[in-house]
Structure formats: structure tokens, C-alpha cells
Structure 1
Amino acid sequence: MPRDAATHTAKDAPLPVRVPLATEPLGILGTLRAGRRNVLELIPEIATHAPIISNPRGKRWHMVMDPDALRRVLRDRVEDYPKSDVTKLMLAPAIGQSMFIAEGQEWLWQRRTAAPVFSHRNVANLAPVMTAAADRASARFAAAAGRAADAFDEMVTATFEVISDVTFSGNDGFDRDAVHKAIDAYIGQTAKISLLDVIGAPPWVPRPSRMLSGPGLRDMKKMADATIDRRRSEKGSNPMPDLLDLLMAGEDPKSGRKMTTEEIRDNLLTFIVAGHETTALTLSWALYLMAFDPALQDRARAEAQSILGPRTATAEDVPRLPFIRQVIDETLRLYPPAAFLSRTAQKNDELCGREVRRGDTVILPIYALHRHKKLWPNPDSFDPDRFAPGHQTDRFAFLPFGDGPRICIGANFAIQEAVIILATLLARFRFARIPGKDPKPVMILTLRPEGGVWLSVTSAESSG
């Protein structure tokens, strides 16, 4: 049963870990240090109160938290607000000109080609891979029962197993460990903000830190190209098509254009990076929040056990686990993996009464939006009932996957995977915080738990 709302939202109640937002101007060097340490420290505290903040001097920027203005940027005038040069500079070395970076017609034809890959039917067909990964994660947690385990490490393992299995089901000589290490190294170092980004240097000026990522990424791309070419020669030998098969078979319904090996590779690497990192983070933060609030953990466990009994969750169970889904949504509100987005205005415009000039940077601080005092009651508290049936929230106040035409193409895939794995784990185990070991939210490219998510693990049965 839901807990009493008064106990749940009391102002003096403990709060889950959060990022200390800036209370003083940072200056250029302070901005660089904060950006390399934790991008979210660039957000001023006032962003959780105001609809928009602007810097009209020097490198002009606007930080937007107003849902109507966000609707304009992400949906109504999306072509006038493409992804910023900084975003493209960070990601292009790893994922080329995939649909995540491409703009205009180049983006549109790729999106039309890939959309059927993530249809409800195809996503449901991939669910057995998620169920198998949940079983393997359960076995690892069972081996750790009675002691501490790093839930972040376990969830990264589980979600990478899922994405690699649904992408390259036949292995095809694809070195998964090498790919995993190359991606992790890229995110950890070369995706950090450069001083040249901070001062607004043009994109053609080389960023030295991003030139260091070459060998690992080059090897990863060569491996992917060879895998794609090998699969082409097999001509559909897989009994159940995986993401690679579906992308190879896909074509733009308007032009009939099909993706080249390079285009398939860049999009597959996008799916691998986004498909395991974001879901692993969501699950890690969800387990931390469950440990943070044992009463809500008990409630989620009761739902999972009532539906699953001793078995592992499947796609058919997902709609029957509404509270588990609420936990996932509230986790995405408090710790959105893509917590800081930016766009570059292509035309003069007006947002919240502010002049926006062509070339201005428009920042979408999703972390501040999700904790905005005027949009969410007690925004720093953990309350999954915000997402209970009947509760109304402005669609553009909750943007874990973005919105508009460029909403995350794999959102349904990620939600299905997260519900299957979380429900299975909560039905079988009890998770508790370890004093002094709470994670620290730090964003470089995604919002990661610095130091891991260390929890004590016990069997749900043996714990009573």
C-alpha cells in the first residue's frame, strides 16, 4: 500500500544524493574545471527556480527550464535548434555521422530506415535476451549474498550482455570486451569538455584530448565493419533477426536508400553506447534508491513477487508491474542519464521573452528541469507515486529521453529492459546501503555514480 504522503514528503526527511549546484559565477577557468570534473556543476542553483537564465556577453547562451520553451526547441522548431557543435565534437569520433548527430535530410532518412527496427514487435522479440541477462545478474548477486556488491558494475555487465547479444547475436568474431573497454575509455577521457569548447573556438580547431582516442576507436570500427561484411555474405542465416540483421535489411520507405557498411556501423555503435550505458545507469540508480528507502523497496518487491513468483520477468510481465515502472520513471527524473543537453540556434528567435540570436547556445539542463521547484513538489525527494496513474505532469517537464521528432529511438527498448531486470532482482534480493558508501552523481557524458553503487545484498527469502 502507498505510504502516508506526509511521511513521504516531510521537508526534514533525508534526501538521496544530489549534485551541489553553483551559487557563484564560475568564470572561464572555473567553468573549465567544473566541466571536466562534473558538467552538472555548471548549472546555477537558480535554474531550479527560474524559467530561463541568459548570458548576453561574450559567448552567448541561454539555459532553458520552461516546458513551453522546451516544446518550441525540441518539437515546434526543432530544425532551428540542431545539436550543438560541442556535442558533435565530443561524439563524432566514436559514432560518426549516425542519426544521433546527423541533421536535416541526412538525419531524416536514417531515422525512417531505423524506426521499424525498434517497433513494438521487434522490441518484444528481443525480450528473451533481457530475461536471460536478468537470470545471469541474479546468479552473480546470489554469489555475493551476505556481502557488498557494486550494483553499477553488475548492471553495466548485464546491459552490455543484452546490447551485444541483440546487436551481434552470432558473435561473428566480434570482441565484446575490446568494444566495451574502448567505449568506456572514450567516455571517461575524451568526452570531457575542452577549454576550446568553453571559449567558443570554432569546430575546426583541433581538441587535443579527443585526438588521443584514436587507436581503440579505430580498432573497434574495423572490427564492426568486418562483422557487417561477414554477415552480408551469410544472407540471413539467423533464425531470429538481431539489430544488425534488421538494420541491414532496412531501407528508407520514401527513397529506397539502404545504409552503407559505414552508416550501419556508426548507428550500431550508437545503439551499443546508448543502449547499455543509459540503461545500466538507470538500474544502478534505481537499486541505490530502493536501498535508500526500504519501505518503497518492500512495496516494489511485493509487486514483483506477486507477479513473478520464482520465475524471471518477461516482456509479457512489463505492463503488469506498474509500480516497478513508477520506480524507473522516478529514477529517470532524479538521475537522468542525459542530464545536460545543448543546441545551437540557427535563426533569431525568442524564448520566454528573451532574445535568442543565431549562433547562441541553448542549454537544456534536464537535471535542473527534473528538480525544478515550480514543476515538482519536494523535487529532491524520492517519490515514485508522482508517476502513479491519474497524476498529471507537463510532458515537457519530464524529458529523460528528449521529445519531439528526435526523441530517443530506443526508449521502449530501454524501459522494457529496465523493468525486466529490476523486477527480477527485487523479487529475489534485498538491497541495503553501506554507511559512508553512497554514490556521488557525476556527469561527464552521462550521469554516472562515481565510486560505484556499493550495496549489501541478501536473499529476499532469508531476509524475511
Structure 2
Amino acid sequence: MGQCPFFPKPHKNKASLLTTFLLKRRSWLDGLYEKSYKMKSGQVKMPGFDLYIVNHPKDVRRVMVDEVQKFPKSNWLHQLLKPLLGESIFTTNGGVWQKQRELLRPSFEQARITKVFGLMNEAVEDMMKKLSRYPNGAIIEIDEVMTFVTADVIFRTILSQKLDESQGKEVLDAFVVFQEQTVHTAIRKMFCIPQWISYLLGERKRMRAGDTIRRVLADIIKPRYDAVSAGKGGEYEDILASLLEVIDPQSGERFSFEEILDQVAMLFLAGHETSASSLTWTLYILSISPQEQEKAYQEIYEVAGEEILTLQHLRKLKYVSNIFKESLRLYPPVGFFARTAKQEVKIQNKLVKEGSGVVVAPWLIQRHESYWKNPHEFDPSRFEEKNVIQKDTYLPFGMGERICIGQGFAMQEAVLILANILRNYQLKLQENFVPDVVGRLTIRSANGMQIQFTQRKN
């Protein structure tokens, strides 16, 4: 029998509109009820918005793959994220998205990911030095550590720049504000709260936070953009170098500075925030699963001993990889994918009006009792090669043409970080600590993650 990690206990019945407004201002997970984890489809009526939830694999494939043109990325989401991401691949549609995807693709091909491994490893080595400075047996706020190291990985692999503590604090504090305020802004939009009230209640703070992050990124990118424009600056081998070099085959032009800034802001959001969420939840699960933790340690030691971990080692760490995949199932970093119905369509027995929101929710699908045995239990063996995962029920990176472009990067980073930690430490959740699971842009623990780190005696 596997371990059953914590998840928010759903309400017995569907909440009223007023209760939804009061609950979901903090986290959309708080508005779920028991039937949410069993239904094939659902509907939520808001004063200014109709929302349809799609849980059945056939309908998931229809929205994400087969009829993707009928269900473009939500313009509503685009407007919410624009202060930070501008016109980036994360929210654009149609020809703009296709052009951006094609121009970004070379930066995330396996050869490029392999090339930036050394930069990734330097960030992880610094994380390990930071952990070694704690006294043996210390309780560590690991959510903060994971947020910093994944941001550092992004800065080094994309920008060839180490994230220093003061710069990191400014950027990451701004991102916390942006996340929290975006949830509030979304709920106010759903309930048709006037824009001027929204501005007074926190929208101004949200816009400022987005500007702060973009300013830090722009100050790093601009000198290199100008150097390449002047025919210089070819000494870098990071992802930004690839973005600066790529040429649109149709126009013969490179990305403009603003386009580069938008894409790097997107890579920062998608690259550090989702990885930080996933790694924090994985370490939490391992901290309450001593047997799986020891099994992972044995695999790491058999594969690499005390050698510095290489890419070749990582490829052999199948069990560590399966632990991370199972953690992504239980705590997908992006709990829902928002789409818009471009025309009137029928899903299950519901008529979805043109312009309505359509949500595919990995959080619900990956915990759905019709598709998974003991869905809330942690069981890495689900991902062994002999087992077949039912199609369209596991989608932490999305699916179809919009599947996460950085999936390979994220898996490499996660296994590297986990292997380094597990080889050196035994983990145990602080006694009586219960994570406060919230759904914002990503699924995080609002009260952090308190884990005891005890040094291993190799």
C-alpha cells in the first residue's frame, strides 16, 4: 500500500456563487467538491463567465489535440499574464504562436539542453554548498531553497549569469506578489468587479511586480542584444545565444528586443516556478516515504557512487525519474489549462457557448478514480516500463502541439537536483507539519515546506 500525501479535502457539495467568491479568492482548489474528482465534465456559472471542466480522456484529446483550433489558449489568461509575459508563446495563438514555437524550438532541442548541463550543474553545486552550511538535522524551509535554485538554473542556462542573493530576492518577492494578485484579479474579472475597483484592490501592485521582473531581465538582455546587433557577442553558449541567433526564414529577421524579453520572461515563469513547485512536492512526498527514499538512494549510489553526477548517470536513474513522474501526477505544477470555445460545441451532454471558458484540469484528471487505482496514493511503480499509462490521463506538461517545449530540460534538472539531495541527506517532514495546498498560477504550499535534513554517512 502506497503513502497517501496530503491534498485539500473537497467540500461535500458544490458551493454557492457567494461562497465561491469568498473561497476562490485565495485558491481555485478551495472551490472543488467531491464530485469534481468523479465527474466526466462540469460547469461553473459566474456572473461574467461560463466555465466548462473537461475530465473525460476522449474530450481531453478533442480539446488538446484533435480539434485544437476550436479551443485556442484563453485570451482572458493572456490579458492576465501580459504584464509579465507580454506576447509570449505561453498565451499567444495561431500564426503568432506557430512562428514563436518554431523560433524557440532549436533552443530546447536535446543538443542545446546537453550543452547547458554544465551551467545547470553549477547552480546545483551552489545549492548543495548552501545546504551544507545548515547544522546536521536542521529543519529547512525547502520551498525557498527550491525556488531560488530553479531561478538560478534559469538565469545561468538562459543568461549565463549567476543569480545573486539580493537580485534573487527582488525578483522572487515580485513573483510571489504577481502570483497572489493574479488570482485575485481573475476572480474579480469573473464577478464583473469594475476595473477601477480592481486597480485600488491590488491590480497596481500586480503591474508593478511584473515591471520589476521584466526590468531585471531587460538589464541583462539589452547589452547582449546590442552586441549581437553590432556583429559581436558570440562567446556565449546559453539559451539566450540561441534566441539571439535564430532567424525567421520567412522575414529573414531576428527576434526584436521586445520579443526576446517576452520569451525570456515566459521561460523564467515556466522554467523556475513550475520546477520549484514540482521539486518541493517531490521532496515533501519523499520526506513521508522512507522506503521509497532509501530505494532511490540505493539506485543513486549504485549508478554513481560518490562521483560527480553526469548526464550519463542521470539517464540511468530510472527510479528517481519515476518518483518525479509520480509526484507530477499528484501535484501537477499547472493544475489547469485554460482554453476558449471559438464556436458553439457540445461536450458530453453540455452545450458550450461560443466564448465560454473550457478547462482541462490535470489536478482532477490525474486523481480521477475512474482512470487511476488508489488515485491519491504515492506509487512510483505506476511508471515502470511494464505498466501502461492510459492515454490522455497523464498530462503534467500538457499534450498535443502545445506540449511544454522545456519538458526535457525540466526532467534533466529535476533528476539532477533530487539525486544530489538524496545522495547526501535523509529527509523527514517536520513533526505535525501539514502543507497548505493552494492553486494559483501553479500549485504551491502557502505555508512553505518544513523538512528535516540529516546528513548521510556514506
Indicate conservation of the 8 Å contact 1:312/1:424, yes or no. Answer: no
Residue by residue over 1:199-226, the C-alpha shift from the partner in whole angstroms, topping out at 9 and shown as x without a partner, is 3679x88842323223343344344334
Q: Measured at CA, do residues 17 and 269 of structure 1 come closer, stay the same or move farther in structure 2, by a change above 3 Å?
A: same
CA distance in 1, matches of 2:265, 2:28: 24
1:131 aligned residue: 121
Kindly state the Cα deviation for residue 319 of structure 1 after the two structures are TM-superposed. Answer: 1.6
CA distance in 2, matches of 1:238, 1:437: 50
Kindly state the Cα deviation for residue 303 of structure 1 after the two structures are TM-superposed. Answer: 0.5
Residue 97 (structure 1) aligned to one of 83, 87, 96? 87
Residue 186 (structure 1) aligned to one of 175, 178, 192? 178
1:397 partnered with 2:393: yes
Mean CA deviation greater in 397-406 or 257-266: 257-266
2:205 aligned residue: 212
Mean CA deviation greater in 175-184 or 147-156: 175-184
Indicate conservation of the 8 Å contact 1:326/1:385, yes or no. Answer: yes
1:3 aligned residue: none
Indicate conservation of the 8 Å contact 1:148/1:457, yes or no. Answer: yes
1:360 aligned residue: 356
CA distance in 1, matches of 2:350, 2:182: 34
Residue 224 (structure 1) aligned to one of 217, 226, 232? 217
2:11 aligned residue: 22
Residue 252 (structure 2) aligned to one of 252, 256, 261? 256
1:156 partnered with 2:157: no
Residue by residue over 1:312-359, the C-alpha shift from the partner in whole angstroms, topping out at 9 and shown as x without a partner, is 423222220000010000000001110122211011222234322212
CA distance in 1, matches of 2:45, 2:324: 38
2:106 aligned residue: 116
CA distance in 2, matches of 1:319, 1:282: 19
Q: Measured at CA, do residues 191 and 264 of structure 1 come closer, stay the same or move farther in structure 2, by a change above 3 Å?
A: farther
Kindly state the Cα deviation for residue 254 of structure 1 after the two structures are TM-superposed. Answer: 4.3
1:49 aligned residue: 38
Indicate conservation of the 8 Å contact 1:194/1:207, yes or no. Answer: no
Q: Measured at CA, do residues 288 and 219 of structure 1 come closer, stay the same or move farther in structure 2, by a change above 3 Å?
A: closer
CA distance in 2, matches of 1:445, 1:332: 15
Residue 276 (structure 1) aligned to one of 256, 272, 275? 272
Q: Measured at CA, do residues 184 and 445 of structure 1 come closer, stay the same or move farther in structure 2, by a change above 3 Å?
A: same
CA distance in 2, matches of 1:143, 1:228: 33
CA distance in 2, matches of 1:76, 1:347: 15
CA distance in 2, matches of 1:238, 1:177: 30
Q: Measured at CA, do residues 192 and 304 of structure 1 come closer, stay the same or move farther in structure 2, by a change above 3 Å?
A: farther
CA distance in 1, matches of 2:277, 2:271: 11
Q: Measured at CA, do residues 223 and 299 of structure 1 come closer, stay the same or move farther in structure 2, by a change above 3 Å?
A: closer
CA distance in 2, matches of 1:18, 1:60: 27
Kindly state the Cα deviation for residue 181 of structure 1 after the two structures are TM-superposed. Answer: 2.7
Kindly state the Cα deviation for residue 263 of structure 1 after the two structures are TM-superposed. Answer: 0.8
Mean CA deviation greater in 208-217 or 26-35: 208-217
Secondary structure at the counterpart of residue 431 of structure 1 = strand
User: What letter corresponds to residue 212 of structure 1 in structure 2?
Assistant: K
Kindly state the Cα deviation for residue 77 of structure 1 after the two structures are TM-superposed. Answer: 1.5
2:133 aligned residue: 143
Residue by residue over 1:157-178, the C-alpha shift from the partner in whole angstroms, topping out at 9 and shown as x without a partner, is 2111111111221469994443
Alignment of 1:278-293 (within 5 A): 278-293=274-289
1:441 aligned residue: 437
Indicate conservation of the 8 Å contact 2:277/2:333, yes or no. Answer: yes
Runs of 5+ consecutive residues of structure 1 not aligned to the other structure? 1-6, 9-13
Q: Measured at CA, do residues 158 and 428 of structure 1 come closer, stay the same or move farther in structure 2, by a change above 3 Å?
A: same
Q: Measured at CA, do residues 350 and 294 of structure 1 come closer, stay the same or move farther in structure 2, by a change above 3 Å?
A: same
2:188 aligned residue: 196
Alignment of 1:363-374 (within 5 A): 363-374=359-370
Residue by residue over 1:223-245, the C-alpha shift from the partner in whole angstroms, topping out at 9 and shown as x without a partner, is 43343331033335353421221
CA distance in 2, matches of 1:298, 1:219: 42
Mean CA deviation greater in 152-161 or 205-214: 205-214
Q: Measured at CA, do residues 206 and 398 of structure 1 come closer, stay the same or move farther in structure 2, by a change above 3 Å?
A: farther
Q: TM-score, normalised on structure 1? A: 0.91
User: What letter corresponds to residue 203 of structure 2 in structure 1?
Assistant: R
Mean CA deviation greater in 131-140 or 370-379: 131-140
CA distance in 2, matches of 1:101, 1:126: 26
CA distance in 1, matches of 2:404, 2:413: 15
Indicate conservation of the 8 Å contact 2:344/2:352, yes or no. Answer: yes
Q: Measured at CA, do residues 160 and 312 of structure 1 come closer, stay the same or move farther in structure 2, by a change above 3 Å?
A: farther
1:11 aligned residue: none
Residue by residue over 1:244-294, the C-alpha shift from the partner in whole angstroms, topping out at 9 and shown as x without a partner, is 211111123444342111111011011111111111111111111111110
Indicate conservation of the 8 Å contact 1:150/1:452, yes or no. Answer: yes
1:4 aligned residue: none
1:329 partnered with 2:325: yes
Mean CA deviation greater in 236-245 or 38-47: 236-245
Kindly state the Cα deviation for residue 362 of structure 1 after the two structures are TM-superposed. Answer: 1.1
Q: Measured at CA, do residues 338 and 172 of structure 1 come closer, stay the same or move farther in structure 2, by a change above 3 Å?
A: closer
Q: Measured at CA, do residues 240 and 230 of structure 1 come closer, stay the same or move farther in structure 2, by a change above 3 Å?
A: closer
Q: Measured at CA, do residues 68 and 201 of structure 1 come closer, stay the same or move farther in structure 2, by a change above 3 Å?
A: farther
Q: Measured at CA, do residues 129 and 171 of structure 1 come closer, stay the same or move farther in structure 2, by a change above 3 Å?
A: closer
2:22 aligned residue: 33
Residue 169 (structure 1) aligned to one of 160, 176, 181? 160
Q: Measured at CA, do residues 239 and 252 of structure 1 come closer, stay the same or move farther in structure 2, by a change above 3 Å?
A: same
2:60 aligned residue: 70
2:240 aligned residue: 244
User: What letter corresponds to residue 159 of structure 1 in structure 2?
Assistant: T
Output the aligned Cα RMSD.
2.3
User: What letter corresponds to residue 222 of structure 2 in structure 1?
Assistant: D
Mean CA deviation greater in 370-379 or 253-262: 253-262
Indicate conservation of the 8 Å contact 1:90/1:210, yes or no. Answer: no
Residue by residue over 1:125-145, the C-alpha shift from the partner in whole angstroms, topping out at 9 and shown as x without a partner, is 111122222222222222222
Q: Measured at CA, do residues 238 and 258 of structure 1 come closer, stay the same or move farther in structure 2, by a change above 3 Å?
A: closer
Kindly state the Cα deviation for residue 445 of structure 1 after the two structures are TM-superposed. Answer: 1.4
Runs of 5+ consecutive residues of structure 2 not aligned to the other structure? none
Q: Measured at CA, do residues 135 and 307 of structure 1 come closer, stay the same or move farther in structure 2, by a change above 3 Å?
A: same
Q: Measured at CA, do residues 290 and 55 of structure 1 come closer, stay the same or move farther in structure 2, by a change above 3 Å?
A: closer
